[in-house]
Amino acid sequence: MSLRHAILGLLTFEPMSGYTLKSRYFDKSVAYFWPADQAQIYRTLQALEADGAVSSETVENDKRPNQKQYSITGAGERELREWLAAIHPPVTQKDGFLVQLYFARMLSRHQILRVLQAQRDTHRQLQDHFDNLVLPAADTATMKRQVRFGGLTLDYARRREKMLVEWLEACIAAVQEWPEQESI
């Protein structure tokens, strides 16, 4: 249940509406490690408000529809800090591509290579994206500190994509080397 905590964390930057959370964060940076759709964000905000972890205030806009501005409360900040400091049991990540590769003996070499190359191309693009991504400049001390930790997660994304591209290249080379056989 990290969506709850991701939202609480983002609200420590500044009070925000659900729309801003989505368009500024869940469509960009946070998307890499915790994607969430609009419906989920709005419902989680409602749940957080019901629990007293956030409070809301309607902001009237001239040129745009009114917003519900959410702020983190003291209780919300306590909950967040507690979660952040806790050692959580490792959660195994589900990876459909590994399922695909694991049973790839059922495919022809041509089919296997097609799937592997598509995957490699995807991760090459991601690698390119993260290698060219520049961290935003920070104005306050808090945000300077924030950018440091953002840098650590960016470093992870770069290492991960590099590893994936290398591994996929090795897979492609291996499959090309193996003798073609009955696919079963």
**Which residues make up the interface to a copy of itself (CB under 8 A)?**
2, 5-6, 9, 12, 30-35, 80-81, 83-88, 90-107, 111, 114-115, 118-119, 122, 141-142, 145-146, 148-150, 152-153, 155-156, 159-160, 163, 166-167, 170-171, 174, 178, 181-182, 184
Site for DNA in 92-111 (CB under 7 A): 94
Minimum separation from the CB atom of position 22 to a copy of itself (A): 15
Cβ distance to a copy of itself smaller for residue 48 or 101: 101
Cβ distance to a copy of itself smaller for residue 61 or 181: 181
88 binds DNA (CB under 7 A): no
Query: What's the one-letter identity of residue 173?
Result: A
Q: Rounded to whole angstroms, how far apart are CA atoms 12 and 30?
A: 15
Q: How far is CA 21 from CA 66, 88, 94, 169, 177, in A?
A: 15, 25, 26, 37, 48
What is the end-to-end Cα distance of the chain in Å, rounded?
A: 40
Residue 87 contact, options DNA, a copy of itself, none, Cβ 5-8 Å cut-off depending on partner type? a copy of itself
55 binds DNA (CB under 7 A): no
Maximum C-alpha span of the chain: 68
* Nearest-5° Cα angle at 156, 155 to 161: 100
H helix or E strand, kind and range, residue 87: none
| Radius of gyration of the chain, Cα coordinates, nearest whole angstrom | 21
32 binds DNA (CB under 7 A): no
Minimum separation from the CB atom of position 150 to DNA (A): 22
Minimum separation from the CB atom of position 4 to a copy of itself (A): 10
SS3 151: helix
User: Applying CB under 7 A, which of residues 50, 63, 140, 181 lies at the interface with DNA?
Assistant: 63
- Check if the beta carbon of residue 53 is closer than 8 Å to that of residue 73: yes
38 binds DNA (CB under 7 A): yes
- Check if the beta carbon of residue 165 is closer than 8 Å to that of residue 123: yes
Minimum separation from the CB atom of position 66 to a copy of itself (A): 29
